[in-house]
Amino acid sequence: MNDIMDNSGQTKRQFITFWLGEQEFGADIMAIREIRGWTATTELPHSPHYVLGVINLRGMVLPVVDLKARLGRGRTEATAKNVIIVVRCAEQTMGVLVDAVSDILTVTESDIQVTPELARDADSEFVEGIAVLDQRMVTILSMERLAETLVAQHKVSLAA
């Protein structure tokens, strides 16, 4: 985790925020390796509907996950405006397709609230909570849990 202690003694965390449609999400900044423009993928047979395929990242075969599809919000029709966030966590590396990256968000642990029970389903196991800041709400995702679910549920081999 990327914990920072501020002058008041509160622990703060930093997240890269990004958009999927009209909703803003965040991922721990320490899991992010790079942000790159959209690159067409090579499809893999028999892969889950949310795995778009693989790309060549400097000689490494990198699987790319359509995060919108993984969250049950329909498949992304990727264009040059989309972005791939390269994530490394739990000894796994993957690309995550999002609509746009917005900024770096620093929040205290007390700013992150637990996802309401009624809003949870089986596919929300990688949602850490919701950061509430003034009029802004950012859904915090655990990229580590996302990678773990891909490997465990679908036996997707993610590059090391």
Q: Which domains does the chain have, with CATH numbers?
A: 3-154 (2.40.50.180)
Say what the pLDDT of residue 4 is: 60
Say what the pLDDT of residue 160 is: 47
Q: pTM for the complete prediction?
A: 0.84
Say what the pLDDT of residue 114 is: 87
Strand extents, DSSP E, 6-160: 11-20, 23-28, 32-37, 51-57, 60-66, 83-89, 92-98, 100-108, 112-113, 127-133, 136-141
d(CA 63, CA 103): 24
Query: Per-block average pLDDT, block size 10, for the chain (160 residues)?
Result: 62 95 94 96 92 95 94 92 93 94 93 75 74 90 86 54
Say what the pLDDT of residue 122 is: 52
Say what the pLDDT of residue 73 is: 87
Say what the pLDDT of residue 130 is: 92
Say what the pLDDT of residue 17 is: 97
- The set of residues, in sequence order, having a beta carbon less than 8 Å from that of 140 and lying 6+ positions away, is 15, 25, 26, 27, 112, 127, 128, 129, 130, 131
Say what the pLDDT of residue 5 is: 59
